[in-house]
Amino acid sequence: GAVVSQHPSRVICKSGTSVKIECRSLDFQATTMFWYRQFPKKSLMLMATSNEGSKATYEQGVEKDKFLINHASLTLSTLTVTSAHPEDSSFYICSARGDRRNYGYTFGSGTRLTVV
Amino acid sequence: GENVEQHPSTLSVQEGDSAVIKCTYSDSASNYFPWYKQELGKGPQLIIDIRSNVGEKKDQRIAVTLNKTAKHFSLHITETQPEDSAVYFCAASIRGGYQKVTFGTGTKLQVIP
């Protein structure tokens, strides 16, 4: 089945620094990748949608200059949290979608970001 | 845009009993409805999905039903086991293109041994 690898699983960084999270589709080509943020005991909040080779589409209220998304290939998308602040601490999850005939979305295992 | 409501937010059942989680959606154009199981500290895992051209789908102890007219869909877990304990999310999406998935608010299921 489709596998999405997300790395790192946990990261602690200092305020003001930047953190990069990677999302890779291991056995399929991900034409579209989605980045979510999840607060404790809450549902997944879509941050942005990225299509390979084009600029990401950000949801309302999500700062595109703070959350940089790059989808440079059909198997890799990255989310960079720039100038991180403690309020950016959260669980970030990517998901990838491949073949149009399969409407399924495969999720990564998530990244727990803690900004100190 | 699409709005997905999910009930209940928490559910406790005795091992061996059945669990039912219900969702409603607002956009009649939605035609793909996946269900995800999320364990603590992990990403969601697809457990079953249904497309709008069928009313019911079953996979061992898990079944999903869809009522397009009422815009309702439900997850049924029979013979629950402690390892079924997790947070379950329903979702709705529209076929084609690069459509995003709209998630429900989640149900925390606890199966009591």
Q: What is the 3-state secondary structure (H, E, C) of chain A?
A: CCCEEEECCEEEECCCCCEEEEEEECCCCCCEEEEEEECCCCCEEEEEEEECCCCCEECCCCCCCCEEEEEEECCEEEEEECCCCHHHCEEEEEEEECCCCCCCCEECCCEEEEEC
- Pairs of residues, one from chain A and one from chain B, whose beta carbons lie less than 8 Å apart: 56
pLDDT band at residue A2 under the 50/70/90 scheme:
confident
pLDDT band at residue A104 under the 50/70/90 scheme:
low
Among residues A37, A27, A31, A12, which one has the least CA distance to residue A94?
A37
Percentage of residues of chain A with pLDDT beyond 90: 68
Q: What is the mean pLDDT of residues A26-44?
A: 89
In this predicted model, what pLDDT tens digit does every residue of A46-100 receive, in sequence order?
999 988 878 899 999 999 999 999 988 889 999 999 999 999 999 999 998 876 5
CB-based contact B106 A104, cutoff 8 Å: no
* Residues in chain A within 8 Å Cβ distance of B49: 103-104
Q: Is A47 touching B (CB cutoff 8 A)? A: no
CB-based contact B42 A51, cutoff 8 Å: no
Q: Is A7 touching B (CB cutoff 8 A)? A: no
DSSP bridge partners of B27: none
Residue B44 pLDDT: 93
Q: Is A51 touching B (CB cutoff 8 A)? A: yes
Spacing of C-alpha A12 from chain mean position: 17
CB-based contact B44 A103, cutoff 8 Å: no
Tokens of residue B106, six digits: 């989640």
Alpha-carbon distance B3 to nearest alpha carbon in chain A (angstroms): 13
* Residues in chain A within 8 Å Cβ distance of B45: 107
CB-based contact B34 A112, cutoff 8 Å: no
CB-based contact B43 A108, cutoff 8 Å: yes
pLDDT band at residue A103 under the 50/70/90 scheme:
low
Residue A97 pLDDT: 83
**Alpha carbon separation from B78 to A4, A112, B21, B28 (Å, rounded):** 29, 33, 12, 29
Residue B98 pLDDT: 60
Q: What is the pLDDT along chain B (113 residues), one digit of tens a residue?
A: 889 999 999 999 999 999 999 999 999 999 999 999 999 889 999 999 998 888 999 999 999 999 999 999 999 999 999 999 999 999 998 866 567 788 999 999 999 99
Residue A88 pLDDT: 96
CB-based contact B93 A93, cutoff 8 Å: no
**Looking at the partner chain, which of B43, B95, B105 has a beta carbon nearest the beta carbon of A110?**
B43
Helix (H, G, I), strand (E, B) or coil at B52: coil
**Looking at the partner chain, which of B41, B46, B100 has a beta carbon nearest the beta carbon of A34?**
B100
CB-based contact B46 A104, cutoff 8 Å: yes
Residue B97 pLDDT: 55
* Residues in chain A within 8 Å Cβ distance of B108: 41
Helix (H, G, I), strand (E, B) or coil at B23: strand
